[in-house]
Amino acid sequence: MAGDGKLVRVAVAGATGYAGAGCVRLLLGHPNVQLAAVGSRTQAGRTHAAVYPGSNCDHVLVESINAADCDVVISALAPGDAARQAPAWLSQGAVVVDVSADFRLKSADTFANWYGGPHPCPDLLSQAILALPELRPDEIPGASLLALPGCFSTAAILACGPAATHHLIEPEVVVDGKTGVSGAGRSAASAYLFTELNESVKPYAVTGHRHRPEMEQVLSELSGGPFSVTFVPHLVPMTRGIELTCYLRPREGVTLEQLRSLYRDQYEGAPFVRLSEQPVPSKQTSYTNLCWLSLEQQGAHFVVSAVLDNLGRGASSQAIQVLNLRFGLDPRAGLGGDTQWP
């Protein structure tokens, strides 16, 4: 419940995509939330359960969200759509939690460079908070516009952020990423056919992925100076999950035990970040809000592995975690921590 003891009324825009449907599922089981509305422009008039496999939500989908009827709008719309609708939602008094990319980048020019066109509402960029529950929790309470970092960005920032903040590493990292097919969303395309993906691994966006400027922006802010990232993702034949292997160059005299000690201190008490003495398979995070980290050393580099569920911690469950912090709720509310295995 909110600070006044009332249930938090939450609407989900884009409720029939993977991220939006994940939010709906979690909100239905949240003890402090009332699911106020679910939106879909293409499926309006049908119930969510009739449209999305496995859903037990009997709310009728609406074409547009009336934010006057809720406290929060979680937007899981395509890039650009949230920015076009956010001003109206905010003017109606709702908090906006954006799962898409519209408010992650501070620069409208950077957005235009990476997303192929001008930002629909650049005036809101300075108001938006990039919500990082473990590294910048104090910025979340009281904010009206909260942007979630991307799935790759979340993993990379959790993996590299503490070391960058405390200047234990040189301001440049190499990040090798693997992701499941659900990261491409529900849209049909030949590249995501079973026959194209099965028994194959493919690098993509080699010249630059859209999550790279997010990583560089946040790591630069945390370190207090320019920070560069070389990032190459790979598509692997699994449904969900992300694994990042990050290569960090330590500053002179910095040891692996210093790094491990820092990370233990940084994430002590963080319910959704866990440290392991050995690398963890991505499946160990399936359907959870967990991010597992392992820290090793090979030659002159620290090697940090991060795994998380791209649809969970990379999208829907992280949205619920941020909602909880925004309204002073138990960070674990509505979020189970147990892995479904295998």
Please check whether residue 149 is in contact with residue 219, taking contact to mean a CB–CB distance below 8 angstroms: no
Which one from 23, 70, 121, 151 is the annotated catalytic residue?
151
How does 63-97 read in b/e, with b if 16+ C-beta sit within 10 Å? eebbbeebbbbbbbbebbbbbebbeebbeeebbbb
User: DSSP state, 336?
Assistant: -
Q: How many CB atoms lie within 10 A of CB 272?
A: 24
The residues with which 174 forms a beta bridge, in sequence order, are: 230, 247
DSSP assignment string, 176-242: EEEE-GGGG-S---GGGSHHHHTT--EE--TT--THHHHHHHHHHHHHTS--EEEEEEEE-SSSS-E
Helix H or strand E segment including 335: none
Can 23 be counted among the known catalytic residues? Answer: no
CB atoms within 10 A of CB 19: 29
Looking at 236-302, list the stretches that DSSP marks H as alpha helix, in order from N- to C-terminal side: 256-267
Instruction: Identify which of 218, 237, 92 has the alpha carbon closest to the alpha carbon of residue 154.
Output: 218
Q: Which long-range contacts (CB under 8 A, 24 or more apart) does 83-89 make?
A: 83/119, 83/120, 83/121, 83/124, 84/120, 84/121, 85/13, 86/121, 86/124, 86/145, 87/121, 87/124, 89/65
Active site residues: 151
